[in-house]
Structure 1
Amino acid sequence: MSRRWIFADQLGPHFLDDHDQQVLLIESKAVFRRRAFHRQKAHLILSALRHRAAELGDQATYVRAETYRDGLRQVPEPVEVCHPTSRRARDLVRSLERVTVLPPRGFVTSTTDFTAWADDRRGAMRLDDFYRHARRQHRVLLDGDDPVGGRWSLDADNRQPPPKESEPLDVPPPPLPEEDDIDAEVRYDLDRWAAEGIRFVGRDGPRLFPATRAEATDRLRHFLRHRLPSFGPYENAMLGTDPFMAHSLLSPSLNLGLLDPMEAIRGAEQAYREQDAPLSSVEAFVRQLLGWRDFVWHLYWYFDAGHRGGDRVGARRSLPAWFGNLDADAVQARCLADVLAGVRDRGWVHHVPRLMVLANYALQRGWRPSEVVDWFQRSFVDGHEWVLTANVVGMNPYADLGQLSTKPYVGGGAYVNRMSDYCGGCRYDPKQHLGENACPYTAGHWVFLDRNRERLPSSPRLVRTLRQLDRLDDVPAIRDQEKERGSQAP
């Protein structure tokens, strides 16, 4: 009889077929030796893996080894494993004897269904099209065959700037987990590994995210009841005084496999049906899970491996040390300093700072997409290659030139000013693109468009912006200014 091998992102009960199935968990030290992970990410992974082993008790064999191959040698019987979430891990399990690879789990739409949908497109694939397809296929938020409320997306209703008072939203904070003896053991081991030369980035701190299914379901229930109603209106806003706002903070739990995405989707739908949350908030949350999360998972496998390293917008510069090392204290631009400090201190910021502060800055400076993907993966507690390839390569660096989106997610200081409370206390002026007080995002926006205008495909969404660029008479001076600034922290 085969033993089920589960990776550290396959920890929920839906990755097993029977309650009494024999399980193998392997803790590979080489995973942390190869790359400098955020200290809190390493802690969360190891804590979740060891907590799962403790829950399973005699049902589990827990092996600590240098590599997965070394660990597998300690188990004599055949093993089976659900399809891993990275190409590297997939190639590994396929190369091993006595290992049977099962179809992937932890997502809603099957690989077969997505491939059939994508093949029919014969070109650019759009989230909106897939989202409608998935809503119909899985019967989510429908009245008959039509979307509830008459519209598939209420995104246009959810673009409110933050409250002018710059005070935290009036929502209860998410429940925080309580650390236990397993967490203490993990912290001791990571200290010992660091003394041995294994490098981490970021700061250690209390564990902020669930490491068990019980903790994850508790956070899900709390979000659906207390935070989901306020999620939609401000989902695209940023507050320096409130890094969590009304976001669910469930992405680490979903990406560790502690939660099945469909239970979160049905929970949100039930909240709408029972009038506990408005449709605008529920639809926004469902779109993130049923739409975007599944979409980027399948695109990771649908496109070839070279998609990650695309540089068709001339992005060939390396990440500077201050960014790679999370040196927020070196940064004067208030938005970037605060967001980078959030990554350093928590290993997490919500999706808008990721896209419009961090990845936007990387895009404007022409940093290599492969290095940006690697940085996000190592630095965020929920960072996985399958998540980041489409998000970082397809949206911000736009290195695929429009396969996934109709325009690059690039913006100037005006966007940050409109959607956050950052610019009021910043030394840079979002209205200025030239001079000592020129906002690095405003100047960087124009330099990016000027540098890549011949590479960017024709798109109605870009025409207006490019016309504005043509009306600027000081573009050469902006180029020289940004060249002089170079890779220094802004």
Structure 2
Amino acid sequence: MWRRWLFADQLGPHFLDDRKQPVLLIESKAVFRRRVYHRQKAHLVLSALRHRAAELGDQAIYLRAETYGQALRKVHEPLEVCHPTSRRALEFVRGLDRVIVLPARGFVTSLADFADWADGRRGALRMEAFYRFAREHHGVLMQGDGPVGGRWSFDTENREPPPKGGRLDVPAAPMPTEDDIDAEVRADLDRWEREGIRFVGRDGPRRFPATAKEARARLRHFLRHRLAAYGPYEDVMLSTDPWLAHSMLSSSFNLGLLDPIEAVRGAERAYRKEGAPLTGVESFVRQIMGWRDYSWHTYWYFQPGRRDSNELGARRSLPDWWQDLDADAVDAHCLADVLAGVRDRGWVHHVPRLAVLGNYALQRGWRPSELVEWFHTRFVDGHEWATTGNVIGMSQYADLGRTTTRPYVCGGAYLHRMSDYCGGCRYDPRTRLGDDACPFTAGYWAFLCTNRPRIPANGRMARAMKQLERLDDLDAVVAQEKLRGSDPP
């Protein structure tokens, strides 16, 4: 039996074929030298890797080295490895002797099945079409030849405004209990910082699972206690409740601790046997076997240069206050709170990432490739395959609609409707010009004006473009936003 080399994002039992299969685990210090990671992300990755080594015991060889190459020189037996999750890692393992690359795991649809589906289509590859294919292909939430409930998506039902009282009435998700391994990781990271390896963000208690056992416990709790409230309020943003009813399992999927099909089937059982509302179940399933799989597959299906796409010509570099997560430099309540969430937890849910962080960066004209790197390194669940598609395609519209129909850009009115941020903020979401002008409202109109020649005409943008033509202060708004530049709002 060949020894299975597991990367730090391939740590669940579904990455092994046999419970007794010999394993190789490598902790490379150079990984943390090459990029500036969030401190809590580094902690989670190392904790998960070391916990897996402890679980496997004598079944695993665990090597700590400066580089993967140095560690592999100590291993003289043939190795096999599941398809890595980045192009750089795949190129590395394919160049090694004595290493066989196996098909990818940790996703619902295979790379081959996606390629067959995509090769047979004309025009843009939309997530909605892939999601329907995946549901049919895997037989998830189906009733005969059609979807349960008669619809493929219940997204329009999942846009409830913020609940009164500023908090959802759902039990808090179970948090991990740190142990001796976490204490060792924290001490090592402290030492690495003294040696010159730089991290950003605040250290804090580990909030996300580092073992398959912890991940499954959180999944069970979510399906039993939080799933019903997830759907209606998934687009809500609250300064008083950052977690809402989200599963907080993205890092568990992306570290390979949790098999996504296990979560999908669990949600389906909750609907069929326990009466969980279809709106929430379908939305959760769509996020996993829809968006997550779609991001993975388009990362590999499209050309390697997609990460550098910049069709809107965004040229500004990310400012230092953004890179360093300096939320205290920001007055705008929404951006300050979300940036503080990244600083303090290494995590905010998907709507603040899009509607606040990505939206602001898009309006300011920041380089998409730098944002890919930022989302990759500043979030505990960030990986290159995930951030490339979500930033280049959905968030920054840098490929002019190859995967989305319009730029994900919005003004202060949407943020006011879907959050509690605007109350008490020094900026007025209804104002686009002057000292009280909301940077998102002004930035929205300035973005549309500046990029009007580049954005392809489509029905979803028609209304906004007609409104743009009626603004009599547009030139002044554009000039105002140019002066604001990349300064913290």
Distance (whole Å) between structure 1 residues aligned to residue 349 and residue 424 of structure 2: 21
Deviation at 1:52, TM superposition (A): 0.1
TM-score by length of 1: 0.99
Separation of aligned partners in 2, 1:285 and 1:421: 24
- Structure 1 residue 110 displacement after superposition: 0.8
CA-CA distance at 1:451 after TM superposition: 1.1
- 2:252 matched residue in structure 1: 253
Cα distance in 2, alignment partners of residues 477 and 230 from structure 1? 43
Matched, 1:350 2:349: yes
Aligned 1:203-282 pairs, distance under 5 A: 203-282=202-281
Query: What is aligned with 1:147?
Result: 147
Identity %: 70
> Following the alignment from structure 1 to structure 2, what is the Cα–Cα distance between the partners of residues 366 and 398?
11
Task: Write the distance in 1 (CA, Å) between the matches of 2:6 and 2:186.
Answer: 23
Unaligned segments of structure 1, at least 5 residues: none
Quick one: which amino acid aligns to residue 136 of structure 2? R
TM-aligned CA deviation for residue 277 of structure 1: 1.2
TM-score normalised by length of structure 2: 0.99
Amino acid in structure 1 at the alignment position of 2:235: N
The answer (yes or no) to whether the contact 1:227–1:246 under 8 Å persists in 2 is: yes
Q: What is the letter of the counterpart of residue 387 of structure 1?
A: A
More moved, 117-126 vs 59-68: 117-126
Q: Which residue of structure 1 lines up, in the alignment, with residue 454 of structure 2?
A: 455
Q: Secondary structure at the match of 1:216?
A: helix
Aligned counterparts of 2:431 and 2:270: Cα–Cα separation in 1: 45
**CA apart distance, 1:97:** 1.4
Runs in 1 of length 4+ with deviation above 2 angstroms?
Answer: none
- Cα deviation, 1:262-299, whole Å, max 9, x if unaligned, reads 00000000000123410000000000011111111000
Confirm or deny that 1:97 pairs with 2:97: yes
1:87 is aligned to 87
1:283 and 2:282 matched: yes
CA deviation profile, 1:307-358 (whole Å, cap 9, x unmatched): 1111101111100000000000000000000000000000000000000000
Q: Report Cα offsets for 1:82-123 as digits up to 9, x if no partner.
A: 000011111111111111111100001111110011111132
Provide the residue aligned with 1:10 in structure 2: 10
* 1:185 equivalent in alignment to 2:184: yes
Q: Is the 8 A contact 1:227 1:247 kept in 2?
A: yes
1:430 Cα offset (Å): 0.5
The secondary structure found in structure 2 opposite 1:423 is coil
CA distance in 2, matches of 1:277, 1:216: 21
Other-structure match for 1:423: 422
AA aligned opposite 1:481: Q
| Contact 1:414/1:431 (<8 A) preserved | yes
Distance 2:404 2:152 in 1: 18
Trace 1:364-403 onto structure 2 (pairs within 5 A): 364-403=363-402
Counterpart contact for 1:231–1:246, Cα < 8 Å: yes
| Kept after mapping to 2: 8 A contact 1:229/1:276 | no
Deviations 1:15-73 (A, max 9, x none): 11111111000000000011110000000000000000000000000000111111111
The AA in structure 2 aligned to 1:319 is L
Aligned to 1:78: 78
Alignment partners' CA distance in 1, 2:435 and 2:171: 41
8 A Cα contact 1:225 1:276, kept in partner: no
What residue number does 1:57 align with? Answer: 57
Q: Which residue number in structure 2 is paired with residue 47 of structure 1? A: 47
The amino acid that maps onto 2:242 is: P
User: Which aligned pairs between 1:304-343 and structure 2 lie closer than 5 A?
Assistant: 304-343=303-342
| Equivalent residue number for residue 30 of structure 1 | 30
Gaps of 5+ in 2: none
Describe the SS at the equivalent of 1:100. strand
Q: Distance in 2 between matches of 1:221 and 1:119?
A: 37
Where 1:424 maps in the other structure, the secondary structure is: coil
In 2, Cα distance between equivalents of 1:61 and 1:417 = 53
Aligned to 2:126: 126
What CA distance in whole angstroms lies between the structure 1 residues aligned with 2:23 and 2:317? 42
Please state if 1:135 is matched with 2:135. yes
Q: CA deviation at 1:2?
A: 2.2
1:164, distance to aligned residue in structure 2 (A) = 3.6
- Secondary structure of 2:120's counterpart equals helix
User: In structure 2, how many angstroms separate the alpha carbons of the residues matched to 1:308 and 1:164?
Assistant: 41
Counterparts of 2:96 and 2:133, CA distance in 1 = 37
Q: Does 1:161 align with 2:161?
A: yes
Residue in 2 that maps onto 1:361: 360
The match for 1:19 is: 19
Any residues of structure 2 matched to 1:407-446 within 5 Å, and which?
Answer: 407-446=406-445
1:295 aligned onto 2:289: no
